[in-house]
């Protein structure tokens, strides 16, 4: 993996992911983006070997809009749809600290979302990693998904 993008709005999580990815791929170029639009812009104009994708994030970067109406609970699905539409098969790992997504009227568990993403985006979606603050289990999980992908490519 030579070029990686981390699309994550939480600066601490993004930094933790980036630091860990550097332990695996010390020579990799790692880009980051903190919103749906900034990430999509980078994904459309660059090629990446791996996308680490948060599911819920702001539509715009924090310096542009900060009100709650600019927050997308399913931004990760929107990114995957757009990658499929433009025929970019960037391998993608969902990285989340939530086990349930949605709002009033619609909710989906992480396990059910995982099944949907595998079915709808088989060329991109590798699986999910559940992040818990204070735990490093996510490091093993992300490494396993990458190793599985590399052994099947």
List pLDDT tens digits, range 93-103: 999 988 888 77
pLDDT of residue 66: 52
Closest CA to 57 of 119, 123, 21, 101: 101
For 139, the 3-state DSSP assignment is: helix
Domains and CATH numbers, the chain: 3-152 (3.40.50.2300)
pLDDT of residue 64: 52
For 127, the 3-state DSSP assignment is: strand
Tell me the CA end-to-end span of the chain in Å, nearest whole number: 12
Q: Give the helix/strand (H/E) hosting 152.
A: helix 137-152
Tokens of 85: 């539409």
Q: What is the pTM of this model?
A: 0.91
């Amino acid at each position: 993996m030579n070029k990686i993008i981390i699309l994550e709005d939480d600066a601490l999580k993004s930094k933790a992911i980036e630091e860990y990815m550097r332990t695996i791929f010390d020579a990799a170029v790692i880009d980051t983006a903190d919103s749906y639009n900034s990430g999509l812009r980078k994904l459309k104009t660059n090629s990446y070997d791996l996308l680490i994708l948060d599911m819920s994030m702001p539509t715009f970067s924090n310096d542009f809009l900060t009100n709650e109406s600019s927050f997308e609970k399913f931004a990760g699905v929107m990114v995957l749809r757009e990658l499929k539409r433009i025929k970019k098969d960037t391998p993608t790992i969902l990285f989340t600290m939530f086990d349930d997504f949605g709002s009033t009227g619609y909710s989906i568990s992480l396990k059910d979302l995982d099944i949907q993403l595998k079915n709808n985006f088989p060329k991109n979606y590798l699986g999910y990693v559940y992040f818990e603050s204070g735990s490093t289990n996510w490091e093993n999980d992300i490494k396993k998904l990458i190793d599985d992908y590399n052994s099947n490519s």
